[in-house]
Structure 1
Amino acid sequence: MSTTTTTSAPAAARFSPARTLRLGLARVDYETRVYFRQGDQVFFTFLFPVVMLTIFSVAFSGMGDVGTNPDGSGGVSQAAYYLPGMVAAGILLSGVQNLAVDIATEKGDGTLKRLGGSPLPVMSYFIGKMGQVLVTSILQIALLLAVAGLAFGVALPTDPGAWATFVWVYLLGIVTSAVLGIALSALPRSGKSATAVIIPIVLVLQFISGVYISFTTLPEWLQNVASVFPLKWLAQGMRSVFLPESFAAVEPGGSWDLGWVAIMLAIWCVAGLVVCRATFRWIRKDS
């Protein structure tokens, strides 16, 4: 009786929630440091939205403000108009592209196999990944807002309600993007093909979801296709935060439809969790 208690107690402690959380937080620090040591990853997921905001703001500055009334009043600068889309794209890149490529690479180079043979709990691994995405995306958005405000004079919202909307759209968006990134990591057949498989998906979504091109200028059938995917709703939610209320009239439904933003992001989050549960393995099934 006493022997059973002695041997089971260390096992229970080994897989205790406290230990899992402690190891997960340690992985957050590790994953974040590794992330910023990879130059290509930093550029294509961290700095890319900032670079694109700068390019669009400068290239289209000669076209004047967007949404100006016939009498010349109203409207916002090109930088202010593109800022919400770049924030949404940054969230997608930080979650979907970053994790999908990173985890697929770790499967291919044997990292997951080694971790599978270690005492590290799977949940600690995911806490590390999710924490890294949260940290880097917050830093990225802070940099985006700083560049928009200091370099291009974009006036940020002063209404607390707008920032409350930003918080819930961001949190729901970053969790959904991270979950979908983990789910998509099962798609590449090898670590070497991860970039070639994932980046085109992310790039196409950006072009059809109102990030680089005004959503209402797209053909109706393409708008319908984009409305199935989460980036369209994430970008729409961010437009409700950073653009004047008058811009809601040009949305497909004539309003920001924040209820649908929450519903669609939640649906994709649940769907991503189901796919993660069904497909994620420390070692690929065909390895």
Structure 2
Amino acid sequence: AHPRRAGPDRSGGGVPLFETERPDYVFLVAGKVGGILANSSYPADFIRDNLMIQSNVIDAAHRHGARKLLDLGSSCIYPKHAPQPMTEDCLLSGALEPSNEWYAVAKIAGLKMCQAYRRQHGFDAISLMPTNLYGPGDNFDLDSSHVLPAMLRKFHDAKSRGDDHVTLWGTGTPRREFLHVDDLARACLYVMEHYEGEAFLNAGVGADVSIRELAEMVQEVVGFSGRIDWDASKPDGTPRKLLDVSKLHALGWQASIPLREGVAATYQWYLQHLAEAKAVA
């Protein structure tokens, strides 16, 4: 079947696309996502929307005869203080990060639903847990975006206004891993073709940077010459999030896009689309 995109269905009535197109392979990548501010402001939205999207799509895929489904989760499923790097068996071994536990609980339910449908119905549903994602097409809204696109937007806006500083949340000490969206797309295709296990897999690059290091990288890419101020009264979130990707490496897949190269390409995409938006206006 040719690739088709189905919008997230929160109605509880199923996904009409499955009835009309009968897809053979399903990539469940839809979801409600956001940073610390969005997660803390809209907890009900995050758990409700993600649970309903997963439930509707997984069940519809099974009922309408899909050969295989890949559910895309998140590294947020792991405990706040999980040993680093985090292996797949760290799941449910401790308390979640409070700032995004609603999203995390929904994502855990999604991977467990895949396992349950495999055990009860023999449905070939697999799950992939990616680390923090970034790249062209990202969300740059400061109220709902993740840390990397939010930084790009803040430094760009500060440079455009001629500001002498940028204020960022937290201390800058937490460490994060970032995977380019094109690398993840290749990983999804790879595991869809080469993996059939019940156990979920981590997807990442296997290396991390501090938020401070990331900020300095973004500052350099954007060309902002002012200083960076850190607001330590704001939350840092999880101290470190680095995935153990040895299982995916053993399967034959590795990420290929260096972080700085990916950040620079993402900023160029942002500039291009900013210019297009102004031209339309």
Give the TM-score normalised by structure 2.
Answer: 0.25
Give the TM-score normalised by structure 1.
Answer: 0.25
Greater fraction strand: 2
Greater fraction helix: 1
